[in-house]
Amino acid sequence: MPKQNLVVKLISMPDNLLDVIYTACRTCYSADGAVEIIDNITDDKEKKLSLIKKVISSGHYSTIEHIQLSFAINNISRAATHQLVRHRHMSFSQKSQRYVREKGEFDYIVPPAIEANKELYAKFEQHMIETATLYQELIQSGIKGEDARAILPNATTSSMVASLNLRELIHLANLRLCTRAQLEIRMLVKKMCALVEEREPWLSEHLVPKCERLGYCDEDNSCGRMKTKNG
């Protein structure tokens, strides 16, 4: 059965991201209207960045909600997508298990911790083969895909388009880049952030695990990267 590798592609991100945020920031504090501000926008990138950084660090986050980002994601487990869809400020379009029937041996993601254990990995593979056989039997007996999917595992591979604004990406990074987050979603968010940082390197200081933002670790079981709240 195929072993899948997570693929993430940035579908869209505004080319004039700095102009949008700068205009939003200046509109709040300038005598000029938003139209005059965008019509006379400066070419001085450092000037724009300086104001934007100041406004973000003050917690004035509505200014970065205007930046919409969309990603295409392949080869991700349903276990990971189930965690991702808990983020309520994101939008999703996900491969349906009702209308897209898994053909024969379905694809699945093998968690590295299971793959590393030869004996357990063999049992895991066997379980997937048996699941695929039963799935096919159900489909061939006329059971609808929407019911037959009941036996598909959390490891089943999925695909989705996910969109979110920049404020939510920072929040997502803060939660899911934490080493306490599950590995697969951590890798996903890492790839999403890397794609955004490639275009806007200044964002790397915001696309960090929450401990870097807080200055301490608020987890019960700290990984030791940062001191805990109580030292």
Ligand X SMILES: Cc1cc2nc3c(=O)[nH]c(=O)nc-3n(C[C@H](O)[C@H](O)[C@H](O)COP(=O)(O)OP(=O)(O)OC[C@H]3O[C@@H](n4cnc5c(N)ncnc54)[C@H](O)[C@@H]3O)c2cc1C
Choice from 60, 95, 101, 180 touching ligand X (CB under 6 A): 180
- Active-site residue, from 78, 176, 186, 213: 176
Find all residues with CB under 8 Å of 117, minimum gap 6, and list them: none
Q: Minimum CB separation from ligand X for residue 230, in Å?
A: 20
Q: Does 89 bind ligand X (CB under 6 A)?
A: yes
Contact 178, 190 (CB under 8 A): no
Q: Minimum CB separation from ligand X for residue 39, in Å?
A: 33
Which range in 27-35, 70-78, 176-184, 200-208 contacts ligand X by CB under 6 A? Answer: 176-184
Residue closest to 152 by CA, chosen among 133, 122, 131: 131
Choice from 161, 175, 187, 226 touching ligand X (CB under 6 A): 175
Choice from 181, 195, 208, 226 touching ligand X (CB under 6 A): 181
State the virtual CA torsion across 34, 39, 40, 43 in degrees, nearest 10: 110
Residue in this structure with the two tokens 């799935």, named with its chain if needed: 135
Instruction: Classify residue 76 by its DSSP letter.
Output: E
Beta carbon nearer to ligand X, 103 or 229: 229
Phi-psi region of 104 (alpha: psi -120 to 50; beta: other; left: phi over 0): left
Structure tokens belonging to residue 4: 């899948």
Q: Minimum CB separation from ligand X for residue 184, in Å?
A: 12
CA separation for the pair 33, 129 (Å, rounded): 63
Beta carbon nearer to ligand X, 35 or 223: 223
Choice from 86, 142, 215, 220 touching ligand X (CB under 6 A): 86
Contact 129, 174 (CB under 8 A): no
Beta carbon nearer to ligand X, 4 or 68: 68
Contact 200, 105 (CB under 8 A): no
Beta carbon nearer to ligand X, 21 or 169: 169
176 carries an active-site annotation: yes
Known catalytic residues?
A: 176
- Give the interface with ligand X as residue ranges (CB under 6 A): 86-89, 168, 171, 175-176, 180-181
